[in-house]
Structure 1
Amino acid sequence: MFSALDKKLFRDLGRMKMQAIAIGLVIAVGVVVLVMMDGLFNSLSQTKTTYYDRYRLAEVYAPAVRAPKHLLENLANVPGVDSVIGRIRGGGLVNLPQEDVPITAAIVSLPDHGAVRLNDIYLAEGKQIERGREDQILLLRSFAKAHGLQPGDRISATINGAKRKLEIAGLAQSPEFLLSMAPGDLAPDDKRYAVIWMSETSLGAAFDLKGAFSEALFSLTRDAKLPEVLDRVDQILANYGGTGAYGLEDQTSNRFLTEEIKGLATQSKILPPIFLAIAAFLLNIVISRMIQSEREQIGLLKAFGYSSMEVSAHYFKFVLAIAIGGALVGCLIGVWVGRSYADLFQQYYKFPFLVFRVDPQAFIIGILVSVFTASAGALFVLRKVFALTPAVAMRPPAPADYSRAGGFMAAVKRIFDQPTRMVLRRIARHPGRAFGAALGVGAGMGLSAASIGLMMTFTNVVDQTFDYVDRSDMTVVFAALRSTDTLNELRSLEGVTHVEPFRAVPVILRNGLHSHKGAVTGLLANPQQYRAVDKDLNPITLREDGIIIAKPLAKKLAISPGQKLFIEVQDGERPTLQMPVVGVAETLSGAPAYLEIGALNRALKQPNQISGAYLQIDEKLQAPLYEALKAMPVIAGASLKSKSREAFETLMDQSAGSMRYVMSFIAAIITFGIVYNSARIAFAERSRDLASLRVIGFTKGETAFVLLGELAIMVIMAVPIGIAFGLGLNAAIVEGFSTDLYQIPNQIQPEAFGTAGIAVLVSSVFSGWMVKRNMDGLDLVSALKTRE
């Protein structure tokens, strides 16, 4: 059977159900963030490791132009190498009737006999390539699904300048191509990048590589030293067109996934503590004031003979019921939201499997933090109440001496009417309470502003990248280096209105112990189509006497303008250049390095060479232009800026950036929770006073003004607090979301604070309406009775 105090507990929870729900939601959202972030980080990390191990993803990649197969024995003897295979990898174009421009494709060989020892594939649909069928292929599943292709369909592809009809035997997935991203693109795009697997015999004939390979793949021993392995492999392949071996960390797909996991790790360290701290602070304020409002009931219980320990246990049960209930709801919602995001990540990163798993420690931490903060707030107030005798505790607290405020109140009396004076007098007499409530509302407003600001910043990132940095309509990439004469061919095409060249050179940038594998992009000194810009989005003039690097790259290399940078070219004769850094560019994606194209060609002793071009085109002549580009064998790929923009927005919306929507929703709940609870508690504390005002002649409106006016002033006080808190929180959140691949600038968004302020105002109006509805139905006789 339940004791009398337990029955009272159930009655209290029922009587205060709306407040209990609001407090529970504040607790729940903090736990949601913790559980969700922990689960996503663990799930992606473990799935990545399992998938890589199961399908034996290579740890080192060594491209070459043409290397005889007997070199594999020499490569296998390199210290630290566990196993090595040679394969053929080349580029091509896929021509689909429904697509305007040709689609870039990577074409990879599969052994004619035996299993794939490294970089194995997962056959998702269809069947393996039949022996002797040189026209059969396996196609990347994500590309096939994006275009509605199925096993048995036939596609047209251009391989090494020759057009071929190919039959799709099956659809495959691979840990090597978790993300499909064409060279030069800013973001992955399933529609714009194909991966084709062909038999080694068929591909060797297509690229004239019979008895040779164009890429070596390695697995390493546990004690292998990666830099030494890379150096030795480069020495062996140097005479065969080797373009520089690199480790798994520089492999494109793995790099995106690794940066995603790093971003989640950073966010899991930054965001949950912020949300839990805000929830804990608000919970402490609410619980403290709630128990303070129960002062008379506590005195009555003690008068009936209940000990301080029994009363404490009763109120701790009340607090624990709300705290544990909210934390458990947060755990369940966190798992549900995390699973939803896990499914999204599985679709985005093309895992054949992904199991959402939360470390039990996250549940324990969430529940313990919720219980501890709620208990701390309750204990702080109970300690003061228990120090009183039952008779004193049953009476309202004696008013403090405010005689020294006579001058202030006299001034207030001359200016304001009586209801307004009552509001100001209560705030003046309880400044700590008013400031605490304002601080709570300000925290909720700041959280909302930071979340909304992050959403706006993501939009600005896209606009700045594709409106200020890239102003072209199309980018074409050549199959090999071409002379600048090719620009005349492009200019002569119907529909092309402007052409600007670029050259991309694979390099390793070094500054002491810091290094970065990337590329140096050669552009015109004052390009109009694709530009380097500063932090104010003003174009930067490229110079011949030095290199301009992106801000995140400067940070990674720990280098500043004026310092010398070593550039190890990974192409051609592979010279090592030394150039000063003459500027830092504000880039929002990737980590580019820029040099005037003429200076780059002279440094490489390869004058008038280009890798591709940026085009402006006439929209009315797009169709014939696309057909002409498809017929040009020199073009290895073409991408429309509009399609790249869509892919970039998808990257922002479907990867970690989508977390900003959850944060905004959670911020709204926290903001409403604190505003509503502040109004409800103020009503509970002053119900007798408000009833007295009604009895002596105040109207319902005047009585509501006395209570809600205090709420309005609290909200006004919260605005500057919310702005200051939002600015600091925005900086922390931006740091958590930025990675080496894309950077979120720490920009102040005035609209975000305006929107957050409106959200607080709406929450206040709604909360005030709910409280006023209770006030209008207040039983004056019951409220005025003395509890005995």
Structure 2
Amino acid sequence: MRGLLLRRMLRSLWRIRFRTGVMLLLIVITTLTGVMMAEFSRNGDAVYEEFYGETNLADLVVSTEDQYQPAGNFSAACSAFGAADACETRLALDGQFLRDDGEWIAATLYGHAGSPAISSLWFSEGHAASGAGEAVIDRHVQEELGVGLDDTVTVSLAGKMQNYTVVGIANSPHHLFYVASSRTLIPQEGAYAVLYLPVAALAADAGLEPESRNMLLLDLPGTPAYDLQDTNEDEGVALRELKWELASALRDEGVEGALVGDRGSIHSVELLRQDLEGSRKSIPMTIFLLGAVSALVLAISMERLIRTQYREIAVMRALGFSAVEVRNHYLLVPLLLGSAGVTLGVALGAWFSVGMTSFYFDQWGIPLVRVAHYPDLWLAVAAGVMAIVMLFSLRPALHASRLTPLEVMGQREIKRTQAWAQRLTAWMPVTMGLGVRSTFRKPRRLLLTVAALGLALVILGGWLLTMSSMTGFMRDSLTEVEQWDAQAVFMPQQEPQMRSWAANHSGLEAEWVSVLPGSPAGDDRTFMVWGVGQFGDGGMHGFRLTEGELPQAGAQPVEVLVDQGVAEFLEWEPGDVVSVEIAGSAVEVRVTGITLELTRTLWLHRDDLVAITGWEMVNLVMLRNVDDAALEELEQQALVTRHDDLVAAFDSSMEKYQAIIYTFLVIGAAIAIAVLVNTLIINLTERDAELATLRVLGASKWRLSGVLLVEHAIIGLAGGVIGVAVAIAASKWMVAVFTTWLFHFPLFIDWMVALYLFLFILIAALATTLIGTWRIRRMDLVKSIQEFSQ
């Protein structure tokens, strides 16, 4: 008997094979996405853990920026500190790298003493540089600029030209995310070069003392936990005490203004961690949303299947089948479809995870250590999807089990339209009024249809609105806020040389700026402090104030602007007096306004910054009305960024990530279309008996088509409104998940995109009217008359 029931159920699913296929597709997509994202996230953790372990990533990093110290001072401070297993000093200098096409690009040169054991290099070719005139290039330089072993490269260092022979190619754990500085969030291919040299040779080439250093790296016992910048908890309490002890030891040895950071202060390490963490956070909610949409469609389809089989259910109960047997019989639908869907989804997800992991790390130029598969993740995702599917399908199955023969036979009464609907449609044309009354005659059916249409946009709409907001904010930050044609970054000691260059080129406008690192007092999170000469009109950086006003020079306490990300994470508001550390100096400042910026920043007048630090320093200049010839001359002395190149880099980076973006958009679109078509077709099939009755009573095919058009227009309008609302809610959730200290952007709803989403639902609803018209034309009126007469 059970075999007979199983064959009967399979035949039932085959008769509605289109809807069966849609339900199966949704379950496959849900499982595929879950497995792909989960394996990608765990593989990412494994890659970083193995890479950082092999290269022995530093636990603590001390930087004095442009204030060079004797290596002995660092070593003495490390010995006095006493809690480190090992300490190593470095020399890091900014310069310019000459590309083959004659363009100068930003460069960072690191001086290593001997064979480094902390934050060491991962060699893919060659060996370490050991003498003057030799250099190791970062692997990104090889991939982006085509430089190889034994090639000669030219670098401008401290205004002097230096040539180096490439003897090795390697990756550094500090530069997996490959940008010129922590102020940059957008990698620009072919616009940055990193070289690794013997420290004595680098100091000599830069005209510095042989023992000059500006970095100290420390390896602590084990892998101490550090404070994560994207949480409100302090995960690095024990490490914080060690940093205070180290800072005290450095001051005792005469190392002033040192910034002591942990792994979270390394821009590349923290940004990649947060990027992977955002993916990990989104996995459970993504699986739940996709699973809920799939399960809802399955539940609606099951309800329709059960309604068409009321008589069969009555016969089964009359033959002695218990309620439990009927329930289990209909639970075969989610069990069969769920089992087949998750099995296929797991297989495809494991296959896609390899491609996604390889693509992701290839985009960053990170050496892929290994890609593994994890059966425990397969089981967890499959169990989660099956649980959601079975849970949503339980109610229709219970409804079927509670039906009795008497109830089925008693469902023949005529359902009259509500009085309010009759009054509402009394003034309407016959076709329109009939369509409106028909739509609201079964509120539950209408509610389920509209809800399914709205949920169809939870992924597609959420991604579109989020990406539209993010790209719009970033583009506006580059095109509308920045009013300079070029900017140059240089060493503070080069200021006289830079001012002389500016004076020799009449007509150009220059705004001199001081940029220093800073942080909230007692907090590991860092921001960049910009001391500018001018706020408001005439300045080359515009401010998009969301609250407050611009700061005034010379005020006490010093007045500052902070960006919205800093304000939200630290809960600062205009009028607050807060304590910050700037270049090792603690000071209280008053927040006067909140501004929208790409990176975490604090802005104040340059004279106020000089008063805080006690010394005047300029290391950046923004330029306007400067010609290409002057910029080419400047590129040999400083790191020059053209505004047009920055915008082009943004466009290029968006193109680079289109594959990942399109993957999720395709998944969202496939789900949306599947849900739309399935739900609307179910709505049509439920109308067959009603339409056939009207057709038998003399209604024309065109009038019935008009009734369907009105009904689907109402469904499309309601579903579109709910769909846009759901998409906005989904985009808010996505922004909350992906927003971190390093990567923060506000959500601006693009109402044109919202309108497109609304029209997508409405047009899809209206388009299915054609299917209804086709069904009306193919109606068997003889059969319909027989059913009506019964």
Fold-level similarity (TM above 0.5): yes
1:384 partner letter: H
In structure 1, the partner of 2:243 is 230
What's 2:266 paired with?
251
Report the CA distance shift for 1:674/1:56 in structure 2 as closer, same or farther (over 3 A).
same
1:72 corresponding residue in structure 2: 75
- 1:557 is displaced (CA, Å) by 2.5
Structure 1 position 482, deviation (Å): 5.2
Alignment partner of 1:731 is 2:745:
no
Report what 1:398 is aligned to: 412
- CA distance, structure 1, for counterparts of residue 198 and residue 495 of structure 2: 34
Which residue number in structure 2 is paired with residue 199 of structure 1?
198
- Structure 1 residues 497-646: aligned runs within 5 Å: 497-510=508-521, 514-526=523-535, 528-535=539-546, 540=550, 543-545=553-555, 546-570=559-583, 574-587=584-597, 589-607=598-616, 609-618=617-626, 621-622=627-628, 624-632=629-637, 635=638, 637-646=639-648
Question: Per-residue deviation at 1:491?
Answer: 4.8
- Structure 1 residues 378, 62: closer, same or farther in 2, change over 3 A? closer
**Helix, strand or coil at the partner of 1:12:** helix
Question: Where does 1:81-480 land on structure 2 (aligned, <5 Å)?
Answer: 81-100=84-103, 102-112=104-114, 115-125=115-125, 127-129=126-128, 131=130, 133-183=131-181, 184-207=183-206, 208-211=208-211, 213-222=213-222, 225-238=238-251, 239-240=254-255, 243-303=258-318, 306-356=321-371, 360=375, 362-390=377-405, 393=408, 395=409, 397-399=411-413, 402=416, 405-406=418-419, 408-409=421-422, 412=425, 415-417=428-430, 419-445=431-457, 447-480=459-492
Give me the whole-angstrom Cα distance separating, in 2, the residues matched to 1:595 and 1:186: 22
Question: Structure 1 residue 667: deviation in Å?
Answer: 3.1
Aligned equivalents of 1:129, 1:445: Cα separation in 2:
54
Residue-pair matches, total: 764
Inter-partner Cα distance in structure 1 for 2:79 and 2:649: 40
- Unaligned 5+ residue runs, structure 2? 225-237
Task: Give the whole-Å Cα distance in 2 for the aligned partners of 1:71 and 1:688.
Answer: 87
Identity %: 18
Asked whether 1:24 is paired with 2:33, we answer no
How far the C-alpha of 1:662 sits from its partner, in A, is 3.9
CA contact (8 A) 1:445 1:757 kept: no
Segment of structure 1 superposing worse, 268-277 or 160-169: 268-277
Q: Secondary structure at the match of 1:3?
A: helix
Change (3 A) 1:415 1:199: closer
Q: Partner residue of 2:678? A: 677
Q: CA RMSD in A?
A: 3.3
Superposed displacement of residue 436, structure 1: 2.0
1:748 Cα deviation from its structure 2 partner: 2.0
- Alignment partners' CA distance in 1, 2:498 and 2:203: 29
Sort the Cα spacing of 1:674 and 1:564 in 2 relative to 1 into closer, same or farther, 3 A: same
* AA of the residue aligned to 1:518: F
- The secondary structure found in structure 2 opposite 1:27 is helix
Output the amino acid matched with 2:640: A
Q: 1:292 to 1:784 in 2, by over 3 A?
A: same
Partners of 1:475 and 1:188 in 2: how far apart? 17
What amino acid sits opposite 2:56 in the alignment?
Answer: R
Task: Give the TM-score of the pair, scaled to structure 2.
Answer: 0.88
Q: Could you say which residue in structure 1 is the equivalent of 2:722?
A: 721
**1:169-193 alpha-carbon deviations (Å, 9 max, x no partner):** 2221121210222134343334222
CA distance in 1 between counterparts of 2:499 and 2:301 reads 70
State the alpha-carbon separation in 2 of the partners of residues 447 and 197 from structure 1: 45
Aligned equivalents of 1:374 and 1:291: distance in 2?
17
The CA distance in 1 between the partners of 2:214 and 2:714, in whole Å, is 72
* Residue 753 (structure 2) pairs with residue 741 (structure 1): no
Q: Which residue of 2 aligns with 1:12?
A: 12
Counterpart of 1:47, as a letter, is V
The answer to which of 551-560 and 747-756 deviates more is: 551-560
Distance between the aligned counterparts of 2:342 and 2:173, measured in 1? 37
The 8 Å contact of residues 270 and 733 in structure 1, kept in 2 or not, is answered as no
User: Distance between the aligned counterparts of 1:564 and 1:595, measured in 2?
Assistant: 14
Residue pair 1:553, 1:592 contacting (<8 A) in 2 also: yes
SS at 1:516 equivalent: coil
Q: Conserved in 2, the CA contact under 8 Å of 1:35 and 1:363?
A: yes
CA distance in 1, matches of 2:543, 2:372: 43
CA shift for structure 1 position 488? 5.3
Distance 2:47 2:215 in 1: 27
> Could you tell me whether the CA contact under 8 Å between 2:81 and 2:249 is conserved in 1?
no
Query: What letter matches 1:506 in structure 2?
Result: P
> How far did residue 760 of structure 1 move?
1.2
Q: 1:785 to 1:312 in 2, by over 3 A?
A: farther
Deviation at 1:781, TM superposition (A): 4.1
Contact 2:551 2:604 in 1 (8 A): no
Counterpart CA distance in 2 for 1:76 and 1:784 is 98
Contact 2:363–2:656, Cα closer than 8 Å, also in 1: yes
Distance 1:392 1:583, change over 3 A: closer
The amino acid that maps onto 1:686 is R
1:715-773 per-residue CA deviation (whole Å, 9 max, x = no partner) reads 22223323333333322122122222232312122112211112213432443434543
The answer as to whether partners of 2:97 and 2:105 remain within 8 angstroms in 1 is: yes
Once residues 461 and 554 of structure 1 are traced to their aligned partners in structure 2, the CA distance between those partners, rounded to angstroms, is 18
- Asked whether the equivalents of residues 296 and 392 of structure 2 are also in contact (C-alpha less than 8 Å), the reply is no
C-alpha deviation, 1:626, in angstroms: 3.2
Q: Runs ≥4 in structure 1, deviation > 6 angstroms?
A: none
Secondary structure, in 3 states, of the residue corresponding to 1:163? strand
Q: Does the 8 Å CA contact 1:303/1:391 hold for their aligned counterparts?
A: no
Judged with a 3 Å threshold, the aligned counterparts in structure 2 of structure 1 residues 378 and 531 are, in CA distance, closer, same or farther, namely: closer
